[in-house]
Each structure stands twice: as C-alpha cells, then as structure tokens.
Amino acid sequence: MMINSIRLQNFRNYVDEIIHFMPGTNILIGDNGQGKTNIIEGIYYLLTGKSYRVHREQELLRWEQSDFHIYGQFLMNRHKVSLESHYKDKKKMVKINQVACQRLSDFVGTINVIFFSPDDLVMIKGGPAERRRFLDLHIAQMRPGHVSILNAYNKALQQKNALLKSYNDKSFKYSQLQLWNQQIIELGKKIILNRADLTERLQGAVEPIFRNLSSEKETIKIMYYALGKSSVSEAISEFANLLNEKLDQEIERQMILIGPHRDDLQIFLNDKPGRLYASQGQQRSLVLSLKLAELELMRQEKGEYPLLLLDDVLSELDRFRRDYLIKFIESSKIQTLITMTSADNHLDLGTVYFVEKGHIRREA
C-alpha cells in the first residue's frame, strides 16, 4: 500500500497544501511547530477516522475556520484509490472514490496504516485503556465490523450507566438492567473473541522480532485478560454469572464494574510485567517489536505492507534499535513517512521534504 499524495485544507496550520510522496522512505524535516506532525496526523485521521492527538474535530480546524477537508490518493494492489474526509457544520463525511460512505466502518481499513511515536511508550507504562485501544484499532483495520460492534457496545454501556444513576426504585432497575446486560453479553463476547484472536496472532509474530531485537537475551509475552481472567473461554462462559453477581454492587455504586471495556492486555518481559520491570530502553524495544509485528500481520492478511508513519521516532531510539528499524523498513520495502527536526545522518534514507510554516518543499 502506498500514498501518492495528500491535500490538506484548513487542517491544523495548513491553508491548502498538496504533498506528493515517493515510494520507499519520505523524510519530513523542520523545526518544532512548523507542521511536520500535522501532515502525519492528517494522513492518520484520513485513514482511521480518528486523531491520535485529540478527541474533538474542532481542535483540528485551522484558526478561525469552521470546516476542514483532506484528500488522499493511494495505491492498493496496483489499483488507485482516492479517499476523502470532510468536516463541515460539525459533521463528518467520508468518501471512497468520490462515493460517500454511510458508516465509518465502511471506510476504515480501505488503506491500512501503522503509526509509531515516542508517546506509544504509554502502551507499556499507561493504563489498560491504552492497550485496549491498540488492539481495537488494529482489529478495526482488519475487520471493519469491529467498529460497529464497539459503537453498539458503548451505547449499551451508556444506557446502562444512565439507568444506574437514575432515581428509579431498585426493583425497576433490576428488571431493566437485566435487559441491558443481555446486550452487553452478546456484543461483549464478540469484542472479547476478536481481541483474543489478535493477541494470539500477535504473540506468534512478535516473538521472533523481539528475540532479534534483544540479541536472543530476552523474551516477550502478551496475554489478554478478559473479565479479569486469563482464560477467554472461561470468561465467556461465566460472563452472565459475573454480571449477575455484580448487579447489587453496581446499583449501590452507580457504576458498571465488569465488561470488556475494563479488560487489559498484559505485556511481559522475561515473564515479568513490563510496566513494572522494563527499563526505558526495554520499553522501547517492547513497543517497537509490537509495531513491527502489526506490520507483519497486516502483510499476511492483505498481501502487502501498510503505510508506516514514524513521528520523531529515530531520535528517541538508541543506535542499535534505530539501525534495526531502518534495516527492517528497507528490506521489507515499506513506504514510510518519518518526521525529524534535523537531518543528522539520515538524508541518504530516502526523499527529503522541508516543512516550514505550513508549506512543504521537496529537496531538489
């Protein structure tokens, strides 16, 4: 998969800019605040329907503007694909080859992308929500229906949560909560199975990568804990009982206490929790290995590598990890966009673009 060009209108600090990319590695160089990361964010937003930096589209608008538009030209299996994302009148619309999509799930996954930045270390150090997000985004790109399942599940949670906080008497809550629990079980099982399946496949892909990256000295293991259990089959078979057991407690505390929205992906280094025992360098190796494993899984499923976006990653990796990543990219012939503040010794990696005040200039 390749990106041929991107056009940003009123997106972040861009008025109307078109950038044409080349196969292989594309390096975006510029000082902080000039718009390098905004290009990466625009591409990521176009392909996934979400920003990795903010939660509201309003924050993506150029100053004093009310709408933004992103157009991308891509190549997938040697076929040209055009994608569009429009935000106007506080509404979002997406198109594939000029045809509007009724649902975001019809759009996400058309062109696959992997994004990696120093902030991804939060996947190791942060809470379960970051790791669930990692799993769900990958699944959504491979199985677009996962988006609809997640949305329906979250709506059921919102309704159940509103009921728990209502002033209705306990007997009424009991009967109504049972109805919402049925929806939560039905949708939650699908989410759990999707995440468990990805975790298993990721484990197979990440092991050899991490072994090479750690010079055969360390091991990585990932496990998905559903409903607090390491056995997915056990969690699914006991889902209904677990919800019933928590019912009185949920009513008393007015909050939902169990479900896949509270699950976790545990990442182990040498059979110990990476969150507690991994050094900064080891955390980078764990995350880097998982990102490269994602690339491999997408290649296996789609027959070609996805687009790779690296936001200021090379400066954060030591020489060994940096060289490993560069060698992986070059040997796999993955089209990659890299941002950096200075060229250092990386100018020979590929095509160079200079970014300044929302304008792009390709090196002659």
Binding region for ATP: 30-37
Contact (Cβ atoms closer than 8 angstroms) between residue 325 and residue 288: yes
CA distance 236 to 226: 8
Task: Catalogue the E-assigned strands of the chain.
Answer: 2-11, 14-20, 25-29, 68-76, 79-88, 91-96, 99-100, 113-116, 220-225, 264-269, 272-273, 307-311, 336-340, 351-356, 359-362
Query: Nearest 5°: phi and psi at 285?
Result: -65, -40
Binding residue numbers:
30-37
List strands edge to edge, sheet with 99-100: 14-20, 2-11, 68-76, 79-88, 91-96, 99-100
Task: Catalogue the E-assigned strands of 97-225.
Answer: 99-100, 113-116, 220-225
Contact (Cβ atoms closer than 8 angstroms) between residue 96 and residue 83: yes
CA distance 96 to 284: 36
Instruction: Extract long-range pairs of 257-261: CB within 8 Å, 24+ residues apart.
Output: 258/227, 258/228, 259/157, 259/184, 259/188, 259/227, 260/132, 260/153, 260/188, 260/191, 260/192, 260/195, 260/226, 260/227, 261/132, 261/153, 261/154, 261/157
Length of the chain measured in residues: 364
